[in-house]
Homo-oligomer: A and B are copies of this chain.
């Protein structure tokens, strides 16, 4: 994954652990797929496999929501879809603004996953006057000057920042001042926000660096003198439960 909250004060909202909340969307996706195939019920084992987690974890996660399963049978797919959707707040409409319509911002605007689950792109905002009025993904880009008005008029509480790093904090401040209380940050910066405002960040560069770390680790593990050596075509081992951690032998030659 490429996300992570900036910091977790361990404030377990209402009793649902943060770690569980982060997995609910995963379950929801798997359940939606089952629903589309008209599968009526599913066991924790099956669903866990589909979501790529441990079945015990899944059951414990669901137990925080309530007792929605039937012993000996499993979970009712439709019912669970509804319960999770409700818990995540997806039964209501969430207008979202995207600030910074460059390559990434445009890609996000075009991203289908937005509309699918109650999220609606209410507006696109960019600082470049030349962009103003231009339609991106069918939505005309508006100028940053109108940011506050746009937020208020549309009742936006979720903002997406896709600006260059230098502009991110300033945009963030304006969004927050205008009433936004949740921010998804794609700019490579640490955002400073008041209490009560949630920030989640998506950082490509960080993800790659983490991968590089493990990659380097693998390289020194086996045959220290390897060139760009490809272990290649390792015996395919199906397992829905692998982790990026790689289960490296962890022997370390010295």
Report which A residues bind B (CB closer than 8 A): 1-15, 18, 21-22, 24-26, 28-30, 50-54, 87-90, 92, 94, 96, 102-104, 106-108, 110-111, 113-114, 116-119, 151-152, 155, 157-158, 176-179, 181-184, 188, 190, 192-218, 227-228, 230-248, 250, 252
A246 and B195 contacting across the interface, CB-CB below 8 Å = yes
Could you show 24 A-B contacts with beta carbons less than 8 Å apart?
A: A1-B203, A6-B52, A7-B53, A7-B241, A11-B245, A11-B246, A25-B203, A25-B209, A26-B206, A29-B188, A52-B192, A87-B213, A117-B209, A152-B230, A177-B236, A181-B218, A181-B231, A193-B242, A194-B235, A194-B242, A196-B247, A196-B248, A197-B242, A197-B246
A153 to chain B, nearest CB (A): 10
Closest partner residue, chain B, to A109 (CB atom): B103
Q: What residues of chain B lie closer than 8 Å to A9, measured between beta carbons? A: 243, 245-247
- Cα separation A5 to B23 with both chains bound (whole Å): 12
A190 and B11 contacting across the interface, CB-CB below 8 Å = no
**CB < 8 Å: which of B88, B103, B238 contacts A110?**
B103
- Cα separation A192 to B88 with both chains bound (whole Å): 26
A211 and B240 contacting across the interface, CB-CB below 8 Å = no
**CB < 8 Å: which of B118, B231, B238, B242 contacts A179?**
B231
B4 and A234 contacting across the interface, CB-CB below 8 Å = no
- The winner among A195, A199, A206 for most chain B CB atoms within 10 A is A206
A244 and B204 contacting across the interface, CB-CB below 8 Å = no
Q: What residues of chain B lie closer than 8 Å to A244, measured between beta carbons? A: 5-8, 182, 197-200
- Cα separation A233 to B198 with both chains bound (whole Å): 15
- The winner among A110, A218, A246 for most chain B CB atoms within 10 A is A246
**CB < 8 Å: which of B13, B117, B211, B248 contacts A245?**
B13
A211 and B158 contacting across the interface, CB-CB below 8 Å = yes
**CB < 8 Å: which of B14, B87, B204, B241 contacts A108?**
B204
A215 and B158 contacting across the interface, CB-CB below 8 Å = yes
Q: What residues of chain B lie closer than 8 Å to A233, measured between beta carbons? A: 177-179
